[in-house]
Structure 1
Amino acid sequence: MTAVRVGVFGLLGSGNLGNDGSLEAVLGWLRAEHPGAAVDALCGGPEIVTARYGIPATRLHWYRGEYRTASRARAIAAKGAGKLVDAFRTAAWVRRHDVVIVPGMGVLEATLPLRPWGFPYALFLLCASGRLFGTRVALVGVGAAPIAARPTRALVRWSARLAAYRSYRDDQSRDAIRAMGVDTSRDAVHPDLAFALPAPAAGTAPGGPPGPVCVGVMDFHGGDDDRARAGEIHRRYLDGTTRFVRALAEDGRRVRLLTGDACDDAVVGAILDAVDSPLVTAAETASLGDLMKETAAAGAVVATRYHNLVCALKSGTPTLALSYAAKSDALMARMGLDAYRHPAREVDADRLLEQFRELERHADRLRHTLAEQNLAVARSLTEQFAALTSALFPPAAPARTHTPAHTPTPRKAP
């Protein structure tokens, strides 16, 4: 029998730990239930994906400066030519596969600054090529949100329509796609794929000394509709977060700064310089597994990035969200911590400190709530993987039941 040819697609290996965590979860499912599948990737960082996960990978864009601002005529011309070249490259890659999976990620949203000719165009090329060549394209556990910009919204709408399979990580995502005119009557909602990664060992014991406070930061400038005031939003976010971290250090609390993308390092450096305390340190993390270990050892977590929140909630640690989008609100509500949210666009350090102290007062109850919710999440993800098997793979042989907690550990980059 010929092996099923499976492609994975997205901004993978590009420095975003959440994107890579979603890929890791899908690879764990494939290796557990479909070990004969031949898997490769079309992605942002092919060298990293190959080294870390052991699969062949091809660069997503022909033009290597795709995500750099082009101001000179030569760069603009090269970027424009790259769009045409990418149409042929994407079609040729899709044609070689039976199935292409887009694993999680917010591929149908614009909650961060986004241009239509960037990733939305790449996703449209993928889905259109899948429809043209009969390759099943699956958008699995993806995020979506209302999009004001018409070109971006049109590309997202057509990408969703052309995909053979869609599922979402929250109800708001499905509602957003339905509002764009896509029939979502057969589309399912399941928790974020990163919840399928192995759970970390238990951290702070009840009644024991408090662990450090993990503060997940972000190079936050608002969303796609906030470009006119991006600088103001960033200054307010950085100032409020810095004041909060300083207050924790002055109370004698140890603080671990977490990131989720390489671009967040500048924010970490700014906070370390401003607070200048030996109690405040930066964690070095190369994967969501590393992030989960940090959050499992913490007494509490305050975080901005969506997948920082996922890691903290998966590890069962009381968590407060510096929320910048509806997806964060939906995640906190699903896990029973809806009351513990603070707006990332208007960080008020004094109010945030009050909310944090309330979070710690109810820590034991919240840990119990998270333990219950994580059991429900695991059941839902088992259903997600079973649905994927039915939708994407021919019933040549019965598939084994995949238990998300036993996802194989990927190979580390050398």
Structure 2
Amino acid sequence: MTSAGGSPVRVGVFGLLGSGNLGNDGSLEAVLGYLRAEHPEAVVDALCGGPEVVTARYGIPATRLHWYRGEYRTASRAGAIAGKGLGKLVDAFRTAAWVRRHDVVIVPGMGVLEATLPLRPWGFPYALFLLCASGRLSGSRVALVGVGAARIANPSTRALVRWSARLAAYRSYRDVPSRDAMRAMGVDTARDEVHPDLAFALPAPPAGQPPVAPGRVCVGVMDFHGGDDDRDRGEEIHRRYLEGTTRFVRALVEDGRPVRLLTGDACDAPVVAAILDAVDSPLVTAAEAASLADLMKETAAADAVVATRYHNLVCALRSGTPTLSLSYAAKSDALMAEMGLGAYCHPAREVDADRLLEQFRSLEKRSAELRETLTERNRAAAQRLDRHFTALTAALFPATGRTRAPAPARNQDHARAQGHTRQETP
């Protein structure tokens, strides 16, 4: 793939990648698989939160997203406050210089246009605005690909997110509520498309594997404190979530069910530790997943899954396992409805262990039927994502004239994509 001048097209990927969130890294892996299959000559590098991890895991050069290393630590001393302030100025120049070196910059999935978890406007929203503004000024095409969005109450955060979306050259969303939210915040979405989450492009575990432990239930937990508007009552929300989830796990153990605890971010470890300590049973174990592929293997080996984090749900549904969502945002409800399990959502802010058990037992009674439904919905999701990648090529790489490979070939290439996308010379 070459640019108009005959040189290889330079593609950047941007986001909180390599920072411990498996969902974010799974979205990156899906995009790298697409680039490997459809545009193998692209020169790819990243501006991201965890450059060392991204380089080691995916084999592409990576630069730290923020100049100030303490960006995500609370600043209480004058020196730290001054460092953060200076970092914002330096990052404006660093981001602009990095964007100018690329023909295309892709923001792969992630909830970059939402504030469903606590978020400060001058953190990632500011970084995203710098990216999109730099792209508009330099002529580099910035693409927000399969991203999540939600209505934002904070005026500063809302303004930064709105302008980021307006300045991007291409936008697509992972669900209809995301597109609706951006329209409600004043963005013209008439040409924006909706496709399944990028993680549905990742290979699913082979079907028909023997169960690791008969009757196993995977329970995906989260260090949940509510959303950006819940800061004043975050600790109370967390306490109720932890108590309800722990009661549910204890009830499963009392029924003799093996329980496998899953996470999706490094920050979830204290929740796992609290449940293990409270239940104190050999039937409860914790997985050490390093990728979405690991999570899919865990969920594929379970009879059922109950999960909070969005990409825990994606992995369970992608693996075809009946799943119940502890929903903390509209994106979870939309995903479950899209996959035919809309009746199996339970509010994460108000976990009622007794009611959750009732829903879980109903889910298990319909297990065979729901597995058939998930097989059909996964097939449809794969077809829609194939069309998404076709549209992405037409929008971002119109000069290449490449013809896309059929979906099966793309999936085979994707399995080899990790670490094989052509690198930028440092």
The bucket for the TM-score relative to the shorter chain is: over 0.9
**1:255 aligned residue:** 259
**2:55 aligned residue:** 50
- Within 5 Å, which residues of 2 pair with 1:196-215? 196-202=201-207, 210-215=214-219
**Are residues 405 and 317 of structure 1, via their aligned partners in 2, closer, same or farther at CA, if it must alter by over 3 Å?**
farther
Q: Percent identity?
A: 81
Kept after mapping to 2: 8 A contact 1:204/1:298? no
Using structure 2 for the length normalisation, give the TM-score: 0.95
**1:127 aligned residue:** 132
**1:395 aligned residue:** 399
- Does residue 69 (structure 1) correspond to residue 79 (structure 2)? The answer is no
- Within 5 Å, which residues of 2 pair with 1:204-353? 210-353=214-357
Tell me the SS of whatever aligns to 1:269: helix
Tell me which amino acid in the other structure corresponds to 2:165.
A
Tell me which amino acid in the other structure corresponds to 1:17.
L
- Does residue 368 (structure 1) correspond to residue 372 (structure 2)? The answer is yes
- Within 5 Å, which residues of 2 pair with 1:61-100? 61-100=66-105
CA distance in 2, matches of 1:143, 1:180: 14
**2:161 aligned residue:** 156
Consecutive unaligned residues in structure 1, runs of 5 or more? none
CA distance in 2, matches of 1:273, 1:197: 34
Tell me the SS of whatever aligns to 1:273: helix
**Are residues 34 and 25 of structure 1, via their aligned partners in 2, closer, same or farther at CA, if it must alter by over 3 Å?**
same
CA distance in 1, matches of 2:72, 2:146: 25
1:268-311 deviation per Cα after TM superposition (whole angstroms, max 9, x unaligned): 00000000000000001000000000000000000000000000
**1:167 aligned residue:** 172
Kept after mapping to 2: 8 A contact 1:157/1:180? yes
Kept after mapping to 2: 8 A contact 1:204/1:297? yes
CA distance in 2, matches of 1:146, 1:203: 41
Q: Which moved more, 1:361-370 or 1:392-401?
A: 392-401
1:66-99 deviation per Cα after TM superposition (whole angstroms, max 9, x unaligned): 0110000000000000000000000000000000
CA distance in 2, matches of 1:108, 1:401: 31
Tell me the SS of whatever aligns to 1:144: coil
CA distance in 2, matches of 1:196, 1:399: 19
**1:38 aligned residue:** 43
**Are residues 204 and 322 of structure 1, via their aligned partners in 2, closer, same or farther at CA, if it must alter by over 3 Å?**
farther
CA distance in 2, matches of 1:142, 1:53: 21
2:182 to 177, 189, 213: 177
- Within 5 Å, which residues of 2 pair with 1:110-125? 110-125=115-130
1:192-235 deviation per Cα after TM superposition (whole angstroms, max 9, x unaligned): 000000011225679x9844100000000000000010000000
**2:25 aligned residue:** 20
Kept after mapping to 1: 8 A contact 2:324/2:360? yes
Kept after mapping to 2: 8 A contact 1:191/1:381? yes
CA distance in 2, matches of 1:87, 1:111: 26
CA distance in 2, matches of 1:211, 1:158: 49
Kept after mapping to 1: 8 A contact 2:220/2:312? yes
- Within 5 Å, which residues of 2 pair with 1:96-111? 96-111=101-116
1:111-149 deviation per Cα after TM superposition (whole angstroms, max 9, x unaligned): 000000000000000000000000000000000000000
Higher RCO, Cα 8 Å, sep 6+: 2
Tell me which amino acid in the other structure corresponds to 2:369.
R
**1:408 aligned residue:** 415
Instruction: Supply the RMSD in Å over aligned alpha carbons.
Output: 1.4
Tell me the SS of whatever aligns to 1:3: coil
Give 1:396 shift. Answer: 2.9
Kept after mapping to 2: 8 A contact 1:32/1:402? no
CA distance in 2, matches of 1:325, 1:2: 44
CA distance in 2, matches of 1:194, 1:365: 24
Equivalenced residue count is 411
Give 1:402 shift. Answer: 5.2
Kept after mapping to 2: 8 A contact 1:12/1:19? yes
Kept after mapping to 2: 8 A contact 1:216/1:304? yes
**1:146 aligned residue:** 151
